[in-house]
Structures are given as C-alpha cells and as structure tokens.
Amino acid sequence: MGTVAVLDRLAPRLPDACLVGEPTSLDLAVANRGYAVVEVTLSGRAGHSSQPERGINAVTHLGRLLSAVEARDVALRAAPAHPLAGTGSLLATAASGGSSPFVLAQSARAVIERRTVPGEPSTCALQEVEDILRELHEADDTVQALALESLAREAWEHDAASPAGSALAGELETALTTAGCPPRRVGLPYWVESALWEAAGVPTVVCGPAGGGLHATDEWVDLGQVRAYAGALVPALRSFCGVSRSV
C-alpha cells in the first residue's frame, strides 16, 4: 500500500529506475513470485448430529475442499519450474466451521493462497478455486460455495531489455564485486513491491543486505553487509547517474 501511495504521489515524474532493498544477502534478485488470496464460504444446513441426514454438514465439505486444494498443490509443484522463482503453489492458510457439538455446521470458511511465478497471472487463483468447487458440486450437489478474491499481486521478473534497468543492475554488480561481495542472480519465493514499480514503467532491481525474522518480534539485519551495501551503493549510483566520483 505504501508503494502504491508513493507511485501516485510521484506521477507523472517517476524515477529512471528503482532499487528495492530487500534482504537478498547482497545477491541481485531478478524474479519473485506473486500471490492471490481467495476466501471461500461453504453453506450447509444446520441439524442435530444424531440425524445428519436431515442437514448438510458444511465442515464435511470443507474437508473435501482442503483435500482438493492439497491435490492441486501437488500438481503445481510437479509442473515445470521457472528457472529462478520455482513453481506455483496452492494452500489453505486458515479454515473454520461449525458452532458447537451435536450440531451440523451451517457454514464453513477457508482462506486459500495461490503463489504464482512469472508468466502466471494472479487471476488464475480465483479460476482454479472455482474449478475445484465446481468439481466438488458435480460430485455432490449439496456443496454450495462462494469464492471471492480479496487481494492479489503479480509475480515479477527483471526486464533485462531495459537500458536503465540493465545499467543499474550492472553498476551494482560491479560495485559489489569490487567490494569483495560478488552477487549471484537469484529469484525470491515471496512477493516484494518490484512488480508495482515495473508495472508503472520504472525498471527495477532488488538487492539488499542479509537479514531475517521477517515480520517477527526479532527482525534483524547483518551490520557487516549493511556497511558493504552502503559502500557499494555510492559508486554504483554515482556511475548510474553520470556523476563524477570526485564530486
């Protein structure tokens, strides 16, 4: 959300290129996976558990949904992988249903997350979940469900054909190598805001010092790599901007 706000504020005077300082251990990340979150609500009919034939147990249908999601995930992971970002995935990250013992669940809910690789649109998530729900309904017409996409972000791949993007990556690679930290070109399994900058027409490179504990209480960064990173940024950005190193 912060990146969207910054892009809106900067437009129409966007920068020539963007460097995203994610913790890549000083490697150049040139691809990352995207994601989409789909929320599914399953409808049943409440009834006493001693007479289950008089109701529809939404929790039973939830179990079938979770099993089908897992099977789809296995198929995705067996598909040809992107050379840097790996394969897509599909999994449920939250599930709930029912209200009490002895009562068939009237409703159940699942949050399903799809990770995409470059070349896969984020819209595929909702379609895949809807396909699963349709198959479940065809096998048992008591399955009634609604699927809604709540959030999605596209996967990203560095545009090597962009003069500005290639120049920034090249300058940073040279500076890091000179500093004794030659970077690899890698892919990230998680999403970062590089896709938003690239979609806005700003060629992007992702590189930063090593760190961990992301979004946890003890998030940390390697101070030695912070120093190496800062030292490499100065000559890389001066060269990229055409500024003399003596300035």
User: Quick one: pLDDT at residue 243?
Assistant: 65
Model confidence at 246: pLDDT above 60 = no
Distance (Å, whole) CA 61 – CA 52: 14
**Domain end among 101, 119, 153:** 153
Q: For the chain, how many residues are written?
A: 247
Model confidence at 195: pLDDT above 70 = yes
Determine, yes or no, domain membership for 245.
no
pLDDT tens digit string along 70-79?
999 999 999 9
21 and 83 share one domain = no
100 and 167 share one domain = no
40 and 149 share one domain = yes
120 and 65 share one domain = yes
**Mean pLDDT estimate for the chain:** 93
Determine, yes or no, domain membership for 246.
no
Distance (Å, whole) CA 238 – CA 143: 61
Give 121's Cβ-side CA count (13 Å radius): 5
Distance (Å, whole) CA 76 – CA 88: 6
Dig out the tokens for 103 from the structure.
């009562």
141 and 48 share one domain = yes
Model confidence at 181: pLDDT above 70 = yes
218 and 232 share one domain = yes
Work out the average pLDDT over 195-205: 94
135 and 215 share one domain = no
Query: What CATH number is associated with residue 178?
Result: 3.40.630.10
Distance (Å, whole) CA 22 – CA 208: 5
The runs of H, that is alpha helices, within the chain are 2-10, 58-78, 124-139, 163-178, 194-199, 223-240
Going by C-alpha positions, the residue among 186, 216, 200, 223 that lies closest to residue 28 is 186
101 and 167 share one domain = no
Dig out the tokens for 225 from the structure.
């790599």
9 and 50 share one domain = no
User: Quick one: pLDDT at residue 136?
Assistant: 95
Domain count, the chain: 2
pLDDT tens digit string along 83-104?
999 999 999 999 999 999 999 9
Give the structural domain span for 39. Answer: 34-153
Name the residue type at position 107.
S
Determine, yes or no, domain membership for 205.
yes
